[in-house]
Chains A and B, each alone.
Chain A
Amino acid sequence: MSADAPAWRREELLIAVLARLLDGVEHVAVGASSPIPGAAALLQRALSKGAMRVSVLGSRRHNPFTEGGRELFDCAAQGRIGAFFLGGGEIDGEANINLVGMGDYPRLDVRFPGSFGSAYLYMLVPRVILFREEHSRRVFVPKVNFVSAPGTSDPGVYRPGGPHALVTGMACFDFDRTRRRFSLASVHPGHDAAGVAAETGFDYDVPSAVPETAPPPPEWLELLRGRIAGELAETYPKFASTVFGASAAA
């Protein structure tokens, strides 16, 4: 079967999917522990030929901030950041995310690291892309145990930002903020709509024909395995060496 095996790795497909969702954004910021979103942002920057700015938190070379940790947040509140990525230990059908834990707070049965800046950035960054590789009913639940950051807000609450799309290891979803509901946008090669439904614990819309997620074009793969792998290795050495066999380049 090796002749039929794809020419790309699973991570490379996800990076390409996320990169497409950043098209046209002037400034994208990437938070902690996000190697795939980080690679997607660096790829889209390379494709934009300098039109897009990228700020990778925790990086020295790919992070412009000189005013300390608060600068990213101040930038976001001013509308200077167009896109950001968030994940979640749990994500529900109204796009609420849980980064704190499961159980009866504060006596949790399972503890996650914490909310980071999600409660703020989700409200203020116009195009927030939710990304969680694991696609299971453990993650995609009817209602999250703890709302680290709400997917939608009541009228009258200042909220220029919010969820734009959800990308998982199986599929992509769009989010409709007015209807507070996801719809299935595409399914990755090797999966199907029924398989996605079986692993998703919340309701969402399904169009009559669900397209297959487009694979990464060869020129993107070439960029990823070369320049982007080297750029990424500075902040995510483990990921860059596992996926691309890369170490920090000049």
Chain B
Amino acid sequence: MASTQFIDLADLADRIPDGAFVALPPDYSNVPMALTHALLRRPVRDLRLLCVPTSGIQADLLIGAGAVASIECAAVSLGEQGPAPRFTAAVVADRLTVIDSTCPAIHAALQASEKGLPFMPLRGILGSDILQHRPDWKVMDNPFAEGPDPIVLLPALQPDLAIFHARWADRQGNVWLGRRRELMTMAHAARRSFVTVEAFFDGDLLAEDELAAGTLPGIYVDAVALAPRGAWPMGLADLYAPDTAHLAGYARQARTEDGFRAYMAANHLEPSLVG
């Protein structure tokens, strides 16, 4: 595998092709908002989003801007700020294909890819209308059980790309994620990973066990761009908290199409929408 490339944020956004199948982290886990903003300015089109396993403002912005063809998710929500307004509006207007899933199914299907397996079995789910509407999910009897024991089989999920933000990358392309190990699974499962970082780490993140345990090796990292405060308005672990005033303002404005456009214009996000 080629070594990690270090490029700027706009270049990173340019390398995400229209139509790509892109894995996104949940709101509590290193959301690459600066990269999302760069994608909106481009503007990107026809993304197929995979939320691992949920998303908030990141997916809502992309959907509202018309950049998303489909979304596979366990939920899209602004959390304490309420429903994700552009996601909700797009579903009701029948402008968005939603592939409803459930959190552990997304995690497990990524783990199948991580292991190079075609599928992963999972408990639960039986009797849910989610399963009813997922022709790609199968039910079989546990082959190791004495009697009937139905279990769900999920095909592996292999995103084209995983994108996320992190505190540090070193010059070998190793990226420090701390305890946010769903990002490791995402990166292991995806064909490529593009990462934005708060800062470059002066040294080798794999040199000492304390940092190495929370480090994604550069083997899985294709490109890194510097983006200080790159998760804003979401937070990043101990470094900064979510900007709740900004998020509340978004939740309020994005309730209407006009309000959403005004938000985009005020934040210089997609000139073509407001031109």
Contacts and interface: CB of A to CB of B under 8 A. Distances in A.
Chain B associates with chain A: yes
Contact of B179 (A65, A110, A236): A65
Contact of B104 (A120, A150, A154): A120
Contact of B107 (A68, A108, A110, A113): A68
B103 A117 contact: yes
Contacts of A191: none
B124 interface: yes
A114 B244 contact: no
Interface stretch (B13-21, B127-135, B190-198): B127-135
Contacts of B125: 119-120, 123
Contacts of A114: 54, 73-77, 100
Given A69-B26, A114-B76, A120 B123 contact: yes
A154 to B, nearest CB: 8
B5 interface: no
Contacts of B58: none
Contacts of A4: none
B124 A123 contact: yes
Interface stretch (A141-149, A164-172, A206-214): A141-149
A158 B75 contact: no
A188 B94 CA distance: 41
B92 A115 contact: no
B155 interface: no
Contacts of A180: none
Nearest to B77: A113
A237 B80 CA distance: 9
Contacts of A119: 102, 105, 124-125, 128, 130-131
A159 B52 CA distance: 25
A153 B103 CA distance: 20
Given A69-B52, A70-B107, A157-B150, A113 B83 contact: yes
Interface stretch (B31-39, B42-50, B180-188): B180-188
Secondary structure of the A contact surface, majority rule? loop
B111 interface: yes
B185 A147 contact: no
A134 to B, nearest CB: 14
Secondary structure of the B contact surface, majority rule? mixed
A117 to B, nearest CB: 4
A146 B98 CA distance: 15
A109 interface: yes
Contacts of B88: 111
B161 interface: no
A69 B80 contact: no
Contacts of B54: 32, 113-114, 116
B8 interface: no
Most buried by B among A35, A105, A106, A110: A106
Interface string A96-114: 0001110001111111111
Interface of A: 32-33, 35, 57-58, 60, 65-70, 73-74, 77, 99-101, 105-124, 146-150, 153-154, 156-158, 236-239
26 contacts: A33-B80, A58-B28, A69-B29, A69-B53, A70-B107, A73-B103, A77-B123, A77-B124, A99-B75, A100-B100, A109-B92, A113-B75, A116-B74, A116-B102, A123-B123, A123-B125, A124-B123, A147-B129, A148-B128, A150-B127, A154-B127, A157-B127, A157-B150, A158-B123, A238-B81, A238-B248
